[in-house]
Amino acid sequence: MKILFYQDLPSIESTLLTWTLCEELRLLGHYVDYYKPTIENYNGIKYDWVHGSGADSCWPALNFAREIGAKCHIHLEGVAPWRVGIDTARKHGYEAELPEEEIKKWKDYYGGWMITAFDADSCSVNGMFQQETIRASLFDGKPLPNCHLISCGVDARYVSTLPGSDPQGYMITISRLENNKKVFMIADALVILKKRGLCIPPWMVIGYGSHEQVERLVDFCLGNKIVFDLRTYCGASKWFWIKHANIMLQGLSGIPPAEGLLCDVPVLGIASPSVIELFGDAIYTVENNDTEGYADKIEWLLKNPQEASKKTAYGKTKLLNGEIFACTQQQLVEKYEAIFSGKKI
């Protein structure tokens, strides 16, 4: 099969997940290209499928596929529910709700490129919660045609190359620094633990954000005497730090908890609909905005490492056996093979 991922080359800040998905397809013997051609610089290869995702790729991918006689698959990336008026921004850490004109702007933005799914040969969405959000808020409940529910896959190959080791006594978070990711809620929970007199391990955050968000988090941690380290690792170096952590503290995030499970690190997240859909009972969760409860669970994890490791082994087994919605890139590529072969997954 010949497949074109109509994408810009990934930047060093990227998690490179689409790129590693292409690599998995190549390992299965498929011909895969990853670039943004025009008819003028088209290399003449007769692609079977053109894959598009994101605001700057969907229409060009669809139009290019039609020009060369290929089928087109559109992946609909996540929609922040509060941006389209079906959830509250305050619930996700913002100080105020979005004004109606901004909600309309976001609806126009998302709908403007996601509508390509109705003209493509197939589409995919990151789970039932996202599918219902997109349908209800952007397309008046209209069903998305030939739509497949998939999870972003976690790139697991680096883990198998790393030697096993004991935890080195720090906690880790993998996340962008944005209010809706709830990293600042984790910081608040650590302050609660310090006020209880608990000696907490250093906290490493691997991610990136605006200068304002980074400065805010650094100032908060320094002001509250939280031993804190912010890094921007990706690829193999990121996996090294995950594998040596003793617990993973996550807010609202989809992929990193699977990374923690693969590295045998207990994971604590927030029980949002999307996180529950992805992981079920494979990780520890606390209700959104329950900062005291989050602090309680961190304290329990620190004091009960053996019990926590049992839950982690259980979650890892479910992930590797395909028993939860979250998956590895190797599992995801099998789903894409099925989609491109015309099968329902």
What distance in Å separates the CA atoms of residue 177 and residue 329, rounded to the nearest whole number?
25
Which residue in 288, 250, 230, 286 sits closest to 93, CA to CA? Answer: 288
CB distance 244 to 261 below 8 Å: no
Q: Which residues contact 114 (CB under 8 A, 6 or more apart)?
A: 58, 74, 76, 134, 138
DSSP assignments along 239-259, one per residue: HHHHHT-SEEE-SS-SSHHHH
Provide the pLDDT for residue 172: 98
Provide the pLDDT for residue 113: 97
Provide the pLDDT for residue 16: 74
DSSP state of 81: G
Please report, in tens digits, the pLDDT of each residue of the chain (345 residues total): 999 999 988 765 565 788 889 999 999 999 999 999 988 889 899 999 999 999 999 999 999 999 999 999 999 988 999 999 999 998 888 889 999 999 999 999 999 999 999 999 999 999 999 999 999 999 999 999 999 999 988 988 878 777 777 788 999 999 989 888 999 999 999 999 999 999 999 999 998 888 899 999 999 999 999 999 999 887 778 888 999 999 999 999 889 999 999 999 999 999 988 999 999 999 999 999 999 999 999 999 999 999 999 999 999 999 999 999 999 999 999 999 999 998 777
Phi, psi angle pair for 32, to nearest 5°: -130, 130
Q: Considering the entire predicted model, what is its pTM?
A: 0.92
Q: Are strands 267-270 and 2-5 parallel, antiparallel or unpaired?
A: unpaired
- For the chain, list the domains and their CATH numbers: 2-151+328-340 (3.40.50.2000), 157-320 (3.40.50.2000)
Check the CA dihedral 244-245-246-248 and report its sign.
Answer: negative
What distance in Å separates the CA atoms of residue 100 and residue 140, rounded to the nearest whole number?
17
Provide the pLDDT for residue 19: 87
Residue 318: count other Cβ atoms within 10 Å of its Cβ.
Answer: 18
Q: Which residues contact 113 (CB under 8 A, 6 or more apart)?
A: 54, 55, 58, 59
Rounded to 10 degrees, what is the CA torsion of 102, 7, 334, 16? -80
DSSP assignments along 107-176, one per residue: HHHHHHHHGGGGTSSEEEESSHHHHHHHHHHHSTTPPPTTEEE--PEE--HHHHHSPP----S-EEEE--
User: Where would I find the H helices in 28-73?
Assistant: 58-68
Measured CA angle at 212 (ends 255, 210), to 5 deg: 40
Q: Which residues contact 340 (CB under 8 A, 6 or more apart)?
A: 1, 3, 48, 49, 71, 73
User: Where would I find the H helices in the chain?
Assistant: 17-27, 58-68, 100-114, 128-138, 157-161, 183-195, 211-223, 235-243, 256-262, 273-279, 291-303, 305-320, 329-340
What distance in Å separates the CA atoms of residue 289 and residue 47, rounded to the nearest whole number?
47
- Residue holding tokens 């250093």? 202
